[in-house]
Structure 1
Amino acid sequence: MNNNAPVRASGGGRKRKSLGTQKSSITRINPPDELMGDAARRIWKQQSKVLIERGTFEIEDAPLLQAYCNAWQLMLDAEIRIANEGLTIPTADGSEKMHPVVNVRDKSVQQLSRLGSLLGLDPLTRMRMLGAGSGNGDDGQGENEFDEF
């Protein structure tokens, strides 16, 4: 029995679906009234547009995006206060302690990171969602180093 044909894993030749070609069921969503400020509204408009164009945003994602945008607003507000008031504040005994707003800023950044990842707004998650190397113009016909396996 002559088996010269390469053996491939089941599904090995399938090309990953690019999420960029899928469409969201919505085409636009207005910022909710519950956003905490102008910066939150601006980031809502920007990120909702990106997510809708990418085809990864649905109405059920709106609460996550709202929390993301409010965390953005909190982070910016905290940074303004830190810039104006400094990293420390005086205590009753005359010593200094870290300004409580620093903790607000740090927690906001953590929340941005976590929510952004859930929404696909960070580079690593985006690569996983869209498939590493997708969008490079390769139609799946080119050779790759693992073709022989």
Structure 2
Amino acid sequence: MTVLKLVKKAPAREPAAPKNLGKAAKAEWLRLAGLLRAKGTLSPENEPLLTTYVSAMELIESCDKELGRGKLVIKGPGGTMRPHPLIGPRNKAAQNALQLAKRLGIIGTGAATAPEGEGDAWSGMDL
């Protein structure tokens, strides 16, 4: 006679934040990981997207702190005025963070939607 024993399913592992993240990025990673896992949009395959997102947000915060201390326009080598060198990396990090937030489901896709029950022949084309 064969006896079957019921085994309880192990609880899903809570993802661990990568060790290379700064303090603020790690806190944001843990906060978002719990929310996204509960929402069903975080999987082991897209955890690197979350890591990149929180790293970009940390870079934006760091650049904003530094830019807040000084001027947005600085004197170049010939005395000509030019944008602060951190503006470019800050803006690129913001673009990347926005795209990653959309892919992770943190924010909407940005596609316009017609109000419930309204619409026209073009509404479903995602233009």
TM-score normalised to the size of structure 2? 0.73
Match of 1:31 in 2: 17
The equivalent residue for 2:51 is 66
Deviations 1:9-51 (CA, angstroms, capped at 9, x unpaired): xxxxxxxxxxxxxxxx84411110122x112111101111110
Q: Which has the higher contact order (CA 8 A, sep 6+)?
A: 1
Q: Provide the identity percentage.
A: 27
Question: What 5-or-longer segments of structure 2 have no aligned partner?
Answer: 1-10, 119-127
Amino acid at match of 1:62: E
- Aligned match of 2:39: 54
Query: Could you list the per-position Cα deviations for residues 72-100 of structure 1 after superposition, in whole angstroms to 9, with x for gaps in the alignment?
Result: 11000010011012211211211210011
Q: Are 1:106 and 2:91 counterparts?
A: yes
Matched to 2:107, the amino acid is D
Runs of 4+ in 1 over 4 A off after TM superposition: none
Tell me the equivalent position of 2:5: none
Contact 1:26 1:58 in 2 (8 A): no
* CA distance in 2 between partners of 1:111 and 1:91 (Å): 28
Show structure 1 runs of 5+ residues with no match. 1-24, 134-143
**Distance between the aligned counterparts of 2:79 and 2:89, measured in 1?**
23
1:94 paired with 2:79, answer yes
**TM-score when scaled to structure 1?**
0.63
**Two-structure CA RMSD over aligned residues (Å):** 2.4
Letter in 2 for 1:45: L
Q: Name the aligned partner's letter for residue 47 of structure 2.
A: A
SS, match of residue 86 in structure 2: helix
- The number of aligned residues is 105
Instruction: Read off the aligned partner of 1:31 and give its amino acid letter.
Output: A
- 2:14 partner amino acid: R
